[in-house]
Structure 1
Amino acid sequence: MNASDARAWMERFFAAFDREQQALTDLDRRSGDGDFGANVRFALGRARAALDAAETATPGDVFDVVSAAFLNTGGTSGPLFGMWFRHLAKATRAGTVGVAELARGFADATATVQRLGGARPGDKTMVDALVPAGEALAAASGDLREALAAAAAAARSGAESTAELVARRGRASYVGEVARGVLDPGAVTVALLVEAACG
Protein backbone atom coordinates (compact mmCIF):
# COMPACT_ATOMS: atom_id res chain seq x y z
CA MET A 1 0.00 0.00 0.00
CA ASN A 2 1.37 3.38 -1.02
CA ALA A 3 0.02 6.90 -0.54
CA SER A 4 -2.16 6.67 -3.63
CA ASP A 5 -3.66 3.41 -2.37
CA ALA A 6 -4.32 4.98 1.03
CA ARG A 7 -6.06 7.94 -0.60
CA ALA A 8 -8.23 5.58 -2.66
CA TRP A 9 -9.08 3.68 0.54
CA MET A 10 -10.19 6.86 2.26
CA GLU A 11 -12.25 7.95 -0.76
CA ARG A 12 -14.07 4.61 -0.75
CA PHE A 13 -14.67 5.00 2.99
CA PHE A 14 -16.04 8.52 2.51
CA ALA A 15 -18.43 7.23 -0.16
CA ALA A 16 -19.52 4.25 1.94
CA PHE A 17 -20.25 6.49 4.91
CA ASP A 18 -22.23 8.87 2.71
CA ARG A 19 -24.42 5.97 1.60
CA GLU A 20 -24.96 4.72 5.15
CA GLN A 21 -25.10 7.99 7.08
CA GLN A 22 -28.86 8.06 7.56
CA ALA A 23 -28.97 4.46 8.74
CA LEU A 24 -26.12 5.13 11.18
CA THR A 25 -27.86 8.24 12.47
CA ASP A 26 -31.01 6.21 13.01
CA LEU A 27 -29.04 3.62 14.98
CA ASP A 28 -27.61 6.38 17.17
CA ARG A 29 -31.05 7.87 17.76
CA ARG A 30 -32.21 4.50 19.08
CA SER A 31 -29.23 4.01 21.38
CA GLY A 32 -27.60 7.41 21.93
CA ASP A 33 -28.14 11.08 21.29
CA GLY A 34 -28.47 10.97 17.51
CA ASP A 35 -25.47 13.15 16.61
CA PHE A 36 -23.11 10.41 15.43
CA GLY A 37 -23.89 10.68 11.72
CA ALA A 38 -23.61 14.46 11.63
CA ASN A 39 -20.35 14.49 13.60
CA VAL A 40 -18.66 11.89 11.40
CA ARG A 41 -19.99 13.51 8.22
CA PHE A 42 -18.45 16.81 9.37
CA ALA A 43 -15.09 15.11 10.02
CA LEU A 44 -15.06 13.36 6.69
CA GLY A 45 -15.97 16.56 4.88
CA ARG A 46 -12.97 18.25 6.48
CA ALA A 47 -10.80 15.25 5.61
CA ARG A 48 -11.88 15.35 1.95
CA ALA A 49 -11.06 19.04 1.65
CA ALA A 50 -7.74 18.67 3.45
CA LEU A 51 -6.66 15.72 1.31
CA ASP A 52 -7.47 17.67 -1.83
CA ALA A 53 -5.02 20.33 -0.70
CA ALA A 54 -2.34 18.08 0.82
CA GLU A 55 0.76 16.49 -0.62
CA THR A 56 1.10 12.96 0.72
CA ALA A 57 4.20 10.85 0.18
CA THR A 58 3.28 7.93 2.44
CA PRO A 59 0.13 6.23 3.71
CA GLY A 60 0.93 7.76 7.07
CA ASP A 61 0.68 11.23 5.58
CA VAL A 62 -2.84 10.39 4.36
CA PHE A 63 -3.90 9.05 7.73
CA ASP A 64 -2.47 12.11 9.49
CA VAL A 65 -4.80 14.34 7.44
CA VAL A 66 -7.81 12.20 8.32
CA SER A 67 -6.75 12.13 11.97
CA ALA A 68 -6.63 15.92 12.18
CA ALA A 69 -10.12 16.19 10.69
CA PHE A 70 -11.55 13.83 13.30
CA LEU A 71 -9.69 15.46 16.19
CA ASN A 72 -11.38 18.75 15.31
CA THR A 73 -14.84 17.18 15.51
CA GLY A 74 -17.29 17.19 18.40
CA GLY A 75 -18.76 14.25 20.23
CA THR A 76 -16.95 11.23 21.62
CA SER A 77 -16.39 9.27 18.43
CA GLY A 78 -14.56 12.06 16.61
CA PRO A 79 -11.58 12.25 18.97
CA LEU A 80 -11.42 8.47 19.28
CA PHE A 81 -11.33 7.98 15.52
CA GLY A 82 -8.83 10.82 15.37
CA MET A 83 -6.45 9.14 17.79
CA TRP A 84 -6.95 5.83 16.01
CA PHE A 85 -5.87 7.31 12.68
CA ARG A 86 -2.98 9.16 14.35
CA HIS A 87 -1.50 5.92 15.64
CA LEU A 88 -2.15 4.12 12.36
CA ALA A 89 -0.20 6.94 10.69
CA LYS A 90 2.79 6.42 12.98
CA ALA A 91 3.14 2.82 11.78
CA THR A 92 2.78 3.63 8.09
CA ARG A 93 5.43 6.29 7.40
CA ALA A 94 7.28 4.28 4.73
CA GLY A 95 6.58 4.90 1.06
CA THR A 96 5.05 1.43 0.77
CA VAL A 97 3.65 -0.60 3.67
CA GLY A 98 2.44 -4.17 3.95
CA VAL A 99 0.55 -6.44 6.29
CA ALA A 100 3.07 -6.20 9.13
CA GLU A 101 2.99 -2.40 9.28
CA LEU A 102 -0.79 -2.24 9.01
CA ALA A 103 -1.20 -4.92 11.69
CA ARG A 104 1.12 -3.02 14.03
CA GLY A 105 -0.73 0.20 13.28
CA PHE A 106 -4.13 -1.37 13.94
CA ALA A 107 -2.89 -2.87 17.21
CA ASP A 108 -1.34 0.36 18.50
CA ALA A 109 -4.29 2.47 17.36
CA THR A 110 -6.88 0.19 18.91
CA ALA A 111 -4.95 -0.04 22.17
CA THR A 112 -4.98 3.76 22.31
CA VAL A 113 -8.74 3.90 21.76
CA GLN A 114 -9.25 1.32 24.50
CA ARG A 115 -7.02 3.21 26.89
CA LEU A 116 -8.76 6.51 26.25
CA GLY A 117 -12.32 5.21 26.17
CA GLY A 118 -11.99 2.37 28.65
CA ALA A 119 -13.93 -0.02 26.39
CA ARG A 120 -13.33 -3.72 25.88
CA PRO A 121 -14.85 -6.20 23.43
CA GLY A 122 -18.41 -6.88 24.55
CA ASP A 123 -19.05 -3.30 25.72
CA LYS A 124 -21.02 -2.43 22.53
CA THR A 125 -18.63 0.14 21.07
CA MET A 126 -16.36 0.59 18.05
CA VAL A 127 -13.88 -1.65 19.88
CA ASP A 128 -16.09 -4.65 19.09
CA ALA A 129 -15.12 -4.23 15.43
CA LEU A 130 -11.61 -2.83 15.87
CA VAL A 131 -10.23 -5.67 17.98
CA PRO A 132 -11.23 -8.57 15.70
CA ALA A 133 -10.10 -6.65 12.62
CA GLY A 134 -6.69 -6.09 14.16
CA GLU A 135 -6.44 -9.72 15.28
CA ALA A 136 -7.26 -10.90 11.76
CA LEU A 137 -4.54 -8.69 10.31
CA ALA A 138 -2.02 -9.91 12.87
CA ALA A 139 -2.81 -13.53 12.00
CA ALA A 140 -2.69 -13.00 8.23
CA SER A 141 -0.03 -14.08 5.79
CA GLY A 142 1.97 -11.69 3.65
CA ASP A 143 -0.74 -11.18 1.00
CA LEU A 144 -2.22 -7.74 1.66
CA ARG A 145 -5.46 -8.27 -0.26
CA GLU A 146 -6.25 -11.49 1.59
CA ALA A 147 -5.27 -9.96 4.92
CA LEU A 148 -7.55 -6.97 4.41
CA ALA A 149 -10.41 -9.24 3.33
CA ALA A 150 -10.02 -11.26 6.53
CA ALA A 151 -9.90 -8.07 8.60
CA ALA A 152 -13.01 -6.74 6.89
CA ALA A 153 -14.94 -9.94 7.55
CA ALA A 154 -13.86 -9.88 11.19
CA ALA A 155 -14.83 -6.23 11.58
CA ARG A 156 -18.27 -6.84 10.08
CA SER A 157 -18.83 -9.88 12.30
CA GLY A 158 -17.79 -7.85 15.34
CA ALA A 159 -20.14 -5.03 14.39
CA GLU A 160 -23.03 -7.44 13.89
CA SER A 161 -22.36 -8.96 17.31
CA THR A 162 -23.16 -5.63 19.00
CA ALA A 163 -26.88 -6.01 18.28
CA GLU A 164 -27.46 -8.34 21.19
CA LEU A 165 -25.15 -6.62 23.64
CA VAL A 166 -26.13 -4.26 26.44
CA ALA A 167 -23.76 -1.29 26.30
CA ARG A 168 -21.35 -0.72 29.15
CA ARG A 169 -19.63 2.30 27.61
CA GLY A 170 -20.69 5.32 25.58
CA ARG A 171 -24.10 6.96 25.27
CA ALA A 172 -25.87 3.65 24.73
CA SER A 173 -24.90 2.61 28.27
CA TYR A 174 -27.39 5.21 29.55
CA VAL A 175 -30.37 3.43 28.01
CA GLY A 176 -29.50 -0.15 28.95
CA GLU A 177 -31.89 -2.77 27.61
CA VAL A 178 -33.56 -0.24 25.31
CA ALA A 179 -30.54 -0.53 22.98
CA ARG A 180 -30.57 -4.33 22.85
CA GLY A 181 -31.16 -5.35 19.24
CA VAL A 182 -29.58 -2.14 17.91
CA LEU A 183 -26.20 -2.25 16.18
CA ASP A 184 -23.55 0.09 17.55
CA PRO A 185 -23.01 2.82 14.92
CA GLY A 186 -19.34 3.21 15.78
CA ALA A 187 -18.69 -0.48 15.23
CA VAL A 188 -20.62 -0.42 11.95
CA THR A 189 -18.54 2.56 10.83
CA VAL A 190 -15.36 0.62 11.59
CA ALA A 191 -16.70 -2.23 9.46
CA LEU A 192 -17.31 0.21 6.60
CA LEU A 193 -13.79 1.58 7.02
CA VAL A 194 -12.06 -1.80 6.90
CA GLU A 195 -14.28 -3.06 4.08
CA ALA A 196 -13.31 0.03 2.07
CA ALA A 197 -9.67 -1.03 2.33
CA CYS A 198 -10.45 -4.05 0.16
CA GLY A 199 -11.22 -1.95 -2.92
Structure 2
Amino acid sequence: METINARSWVERFIKTVVDQAGELTELDRRAGDGDYGTNLRSALRRVEANLAGVASDAPDAVFTAVSDGFLNTGGTSGPLFGMWFREFTRSPELTTAALAEAAAGGVAVVQRLGKAEVGHKTMVDAMVPAAEALTAAAGRDEPLAEAVRAAASAAHTGAASTESLLAKRGRASYVGENARGVVDPGALTVALFFDAAS
Protein backbone atom coordinates (compact mmCIF):
# COMPACT_ATOMS: atom_id res chain seq x y z
CA MET A 1 0.00 0.00 0.00
CA GLU A 2 1.30 3.43 -0.97
CA THR A 3 1.99 5.60 2.07
CA ILE A 4 2.71 9.29 2.51
CA ASN A 5 5.47 10.66 4.72
CA ALA A 6 4.34 13.87 6.41
CA ARG A 7 7.77 15.50 6.45
CA SER A 8 8.39 14.75 2.77
CA TRP A 9 4.93 16.09 1.95
CA VAL A 10 5.63 19.38 3.71
CA GLU A 11 9.11 19.67 2.18
CA ARG A 12 7.65 19.24 -1.32
CA PHE A 13 4.99 21.82 -0.49
CA ILE A 14 7.64 24.31 0.59
CA LYS A 15 9.64 23.77 -2.60
CA THR A 16 6.55 24.10 -4.80
CA VAL A 17 5.46 27.34 -3.14
CA VAL A 18 8.96 28.83 -3.34
CA ASP A 19 9.07 27.93 -7.03
CA GLN A 20 5.69 29.57 -7.62
CA ALA A 21 5.98 32.47 -5.18
CA GLY A 22 6.28 34.96 -8.03
CA GLU A 23 3.01 33.81 -9.58
CA LEU A 24 1.23 33.85 -6.21
CA THR A 25 2.49 37.37 -5.51
CA GLU A 26 1.35 38.56 -8.93
CA LEU A 27 -2.12 37.13 -8.36
CA ASP A 28 -2.30 38.97 -5.04
CA ARG A 29 -0.98 42.18 -6.61
CA ARG A 30 -3.83 42.07 -9.10
CA ALA A 31 -6.51 41.20 -6.55
CA GLY A 32 -5.20 42.35 -3.17
CA ASP A 33 -2.30 44.21 -1.63
CA GLY A 34 0.53 42.20 -3.18
CA ASP A 35 2.08 40.88 0.04
CA TYR A 36 0.76 37.32 -0.10
CA GLY A 37 3.87 35.75 -1.62
CA THR A 38 6.13 37.57 0.82
CA ASN A 39 4.07 36.49 3.83
CA LEU A 40 3.87 32.93 2.54
CA ARG A 41 7.64 32.66 2.09
CA SER A 42 8.10 34.12 5.57
CA ALA A 43 5.76 31.50 7.02
CA LEU A 44 7.56 28.70 5.22
CA ARG A 45 10.95 29.87 6.47
CA ARG A 46 9.53 29.57 10.00
CA VAL A 47 8.16 26.14 9.12
CA GLU A 48 11.59 25.01 7.92
CA ALA A 49 13.21 26.30 11.11
CA ASN A 50 10.59 24.55 13.21
CA LEU A 51 11.00 21.28 11.32
CA ALA A 52 14.75 21.38 11.82
CA GLY A 53 14.08 21.06 15.55
CA VAL A 54 11.65 18.16 15.17
CA ALA A 55 13.19 14.69 15.12
CA SER A 56 9.96 12.82 14.45
CA ASP A 57 8.30 12.38 11.05
CA ALA A 58 4.96 11.70 12.75
CA PRO A 59 2.15 13.82 11.25
CA ASP A 60 1.19 15.39 14.58
CA ALA A 61 4.76 16.61 15.15
CA VAL A 62 5.30 17.73 11.55
CA PHE A 63 2.02 19.61 11.23
CA THR A 64 2.51 21.28 14.60
CA ALA A 65 5.70 22.76 13.16
CA VAL A 66 3.76 23.87 10.08
CA SER A 67 0.87 25.33 12.04
CA ASP A 68 3.16 27.26 14.37
CA GLY A 69 5.08 28.66 11.40
CA PHE A 70 1.92 30.07 9.85
CA LEU A 71 0.39 31.30 13.10
CA ASN A 72 3.43 33.51 13.66
CA THR A 73 3.12 35.18 10.25
CA GLY A 74 1.53 38.50 9.43
CA GLY A 75 -1.40 39.18 7.18
CA THR A 76 -4.81 37.56 7.28
CA SER A 77 -4.05 34.33 5.48
CA GLY A 78 -1.12 33.28 7.70
CA PRO A 79 -3.15 32.81 10.90
CA LEU A 80 -6.01 31.20 8.96
CA PHE A 81 -3.65 28.68 7.40
CA GLY A 82 -2.11 28.18 10.84
CA MET A 83 -5.47 27.25 12.31
CA TRP A 84 -6.25 25.05 9.30
CA PHE A 85 -2.98 23.15 9.69
CA ARG A 86 -3.60 22.87 13.44
CA GLU A 87 -6.39 20.41 12.63
CA PHE A 88 -3.85 18.18 10.86
CA THR A 89 -1.96 17.74 14.14
CA ARG A 90 -4.74 15.73 15.78
CA SER A 91 -3.70 12.29 14.49
CA PRO A 92 -0.36 10.53 15.04
CA GLU A 93 -0.69 8.73 11.69
CA LEU A 94 -1.81 9.58 8.18
CA THR A 95 -4.82 7.60 7.07
CA THR A 96 -7.62 8.51 4.70
CA ALA A 97 -10.07 8.75 7.59
CA ALA A 98 -7.73 10.88 9.71
CA LEU A 99 -6.97 13.24 6.84
CA ALA A 100 -10.65 13.58 5.99
CA GLU A 101 -11.41 14.47 9.59
CA ALA A 102 -8.55 16.97 9.68
CA ALA A 103 -9.60 18.67 6.45
CA ALA A 104 -13.23 18.91 7.56
CA GLY A 105 -12.18 20.28 10.93
CA GLY A 106 -9.89 22.78 9.24
CA VAL A 107 -12.70 24.03 7.02
CA ALA A 108 -14.95 24.52 10.03
CA VAL A 109 -12.31 26.55 11.87
CA VAL A 110 -11.42 28.73 8.88
CA GLN A 111 -15.05 29.41 8.08
CA ARG A 112 -15.83 30.27 11.67
CA LEU A 113 -12.91 32.70 11.90
CA GLY A 114 -12.93 34.11 8.37
CA LYS A 115 -16.70 34.08 7.77
CA ALA A 116 -16.14 32.93 4.18
CA GLU A 117 -18.30 30.54 2.19
CA VAL A 118 -17.74 28.76 -1.11
CA GLY A 119 -18.18 31.38 -3.82
CA HIS A 120 -16.62 34.20 -1.81
CA LYS A 121 -13.30 33.92 -3.72
CA THR A 122 -11.06 32.80 -0.85
CA MET A 123 -9.01 29.78 0.22
CA VAL A 124 -12.32 28.22 1.33
CA ASP A 125 -13.20 27.66 -2.34
CA ALA A 126 -10.43 25.05 -2.49
CA MET A 127 -10.57 23.83 1.12
CA VAL A 128 -14.22 22.77 1.00
CA PRO A 129 -14.10 20.61 -2.16
CA ALA A 130 -10.83 19.03 -0.99
CA ALA A 131 -12.42 18.14 2.35
CA GLU A 132 -15.51 16.78 0.62
CA ALA A 133 -13.36 14.62 -1.67
CA LEU A 134 -11.46 13.24 1.31
CA THR A 135 -14.67 12.52 3.23
CA ALA A 136 -16.09 10.69 0.22
CA ALA A 137 -12.86 8.71 -0.17
CA ALA A 138 -12.91 7.77 3.50
CA GLY A 139 -16.49 6.56 3.12
CA ARG A 140 -15.33 4.28 0.32
CA ASP A 141 -12.27 3.21 2.35
CA GLU A 142 -9.96 4.33 -0.46
CA PRO A 143 -6.17 4.16 -0.07
CA LEU A 144 -4.62 7.40 1.20
CA ALA A 145 -2.65 8.18 -1.96
CA GLU A 146 -5.78 7.93 -4.12
CA ALA A 147 -7.75 10.02 -1.65
CA VAL A 148 -5.16 12.80 -1.65
CA ARG A 149 -5.03 12.84 -5.44
CA ALA A 150 -8.81 13.27 -5.46
CA ALA A 151 -8.49 16.09 -2.93
CA ALA A 152 -5.84 17.81 -5.05
CA SER A 153 -8.03 17.60 -8.15
CA ALA A 154 -11.03 18.96 -6.27
CA ALA A 155 -8.95 21.77 -4.78
CA HIS A 156 -7.63 22.76 -8.21
CA THR A 157 -11.16 22.82 -9.59
CA GLY A 158 -12.24 24.97 -6.66
CA ALA A 159 -9.29 27.32 -7.06
CA ALA A 160 -9.93 27.68 -10.80
CA SER A 161 -13.56 28.57 -10.07
CA THR A 162 -12.43 31.68 -8.19
CA GLU A 163 -11.16 33.28 -11.39
CA SER A 164 -14.64 34.33 -12.51
CA LEU A 165 -15.91 35.30 -9.07
CA LEU A 166 -16.42 38.71 -7.51
CA ALA A 167 -14.81 38.52 -4.08
CA LYS A 168 -17.11 38.74 -1.06
CA ARG A 169 -14.44 38.27 1.65
CA GLY A 170 -10.72 38.89 2.06
CA ARG A 171 -8.52 41.59 0.55
CA ALA A 172 -9.86 40.99 -2.94
CA SER A 173 -13.29 42.16 -1.78
CA TYR A 174 -11.85 45.68 -1.46
CA VAL A 175 -10.96 45.98 -5.14
CA GLY A 176 -14.29 44.88 -6.61
CA GLU A 177 -14.34 44.11 -10.32
CA ASN A 178 -10.55 44.46 -10.55
CA ALA A 179 -10.23 41.08 -8.86
CA ARG A 180 -12.49 39.32 -11.36
CA GLY A 181 -10.43 37.25 -13.77
CA VAL A 182 -7.79 36.48 -11.11
CA VAL A 183 -7.43 33.13 -9.35
CA ASP A 184 -7.40 33.50 -5.57
CA PRO A 185 -3.82 32.81 -4.43
CA GLY A 186 -4.94 31.29 -1.12
CA ALA A 187 -7.13 28.77 -2.92
CA LEU A 188 -4.29 27.94 -5.29
CA THR A 189 -1.99 27.40 -2.30
CA VAL A 190 -4.42 24.84 -0.87
CA ALA A 191 -4.35 22.97 -4.19
CA LEU A 192 -0.55 23.06 -4.24
CA PHE A 193 -0.49 21.63 -0.72
CA PHE A 194 -2.49 18.58 -1.73
CA ASP A 195 -0.47 18.26 -4.95
CA ALA A 196 2.67 17.97 -2.85
CA ALA A 197 1.44 14.83 -1.10
CA SER A 198 2.11 12.65 -4.13
| Residue of structure 2 in register with 1:109 after alignment | 106
Secondary structure of 1:183 counterpart: coil
1:132-152 per-residue CA deviation (whole Å, 9 max, x = no partner) reads 000000001331111011000
Runs of 5+ consecutive residues of structure 1 not aligned to the other structure: none
In the TM superposition, residue 58 of structure 1 has moved relative to its aligned partner by: 2.1
Identity among equivalent pairs (%) = 57
Secondary structure of 1:41 counterpart: helix
> 8 Å contact 2:159–2:187 — kept in the other structure?
yes
Amino acid of the structure 1 residue aligned with 2:182: V
| Residue of structure 2 in register with 1:138 after alignment | 135
- Give 1:5-44 correspondences, 5 Å limit: 5-44=5-44
- For 1:169 and 1:10, locate their aligned partners in 2 and report how far apart those are by CA, in whole Å: 28
- Give 1:181-196 correspondences, 5 Å limit: 181-196=181-196
In the TM superposition, residue 110 of structure 1 has moved relative to its aligned partner by: 1.1
In the TM superposition, residue 57 of structure 1 has moved relative to its aligned partner by: 5.3
Amino acid of the structure 1 residue aligned with 2:112: R
| Residue of structure 1 in register with 2:96 after alignment | 99
- For 2:14 and 2:50, locate their aligned partners in 1 and report how far apart those are by CA, in whole Å: 13
Amino acid of the structure 1 residue aligned with 2:109: T
- TM score, norm. by length of structure 2: 0.95
| Residue of structure 2 in register with 1:180 after alignment | 180
In the TM superposition, residue 121 of structure 1 has moved relative to its aligned partner by: 0.3
1:51-106 per-residue CA deviation (whole Å, 9 max, x = no partner) reads 0121225201100011001010000000000000111212x2x2x33100000000
Cα RMSD between the aligned structures? 1.5
| Residue of structure 1 in register with 2:155 after alignment | 155
Amino acid of the structure 2 residue aligned with 1:100: A
- For 1:56 and 1:168, locate their aligned partners in 2 and report how far apart those are by CA, in whole Å: 41
- For 2:166 and 2:26, locate their aligned partners in 1 and report how far apart those are by CA, in whole Å: 18
- TM score, norm. by length of structure 1: 0.94
- Give 1:112-127 correspondences, 5 Å limit: 112-127=109-124
Amino acid of the structure 1 residue aligned with 2:104: A
- For 2:94 and 2:181, locate their aligned partners in 1 and report how far apart those are by CA, in whole Å: 38
Work out the number of aligned pairs and report it. Answer: 194
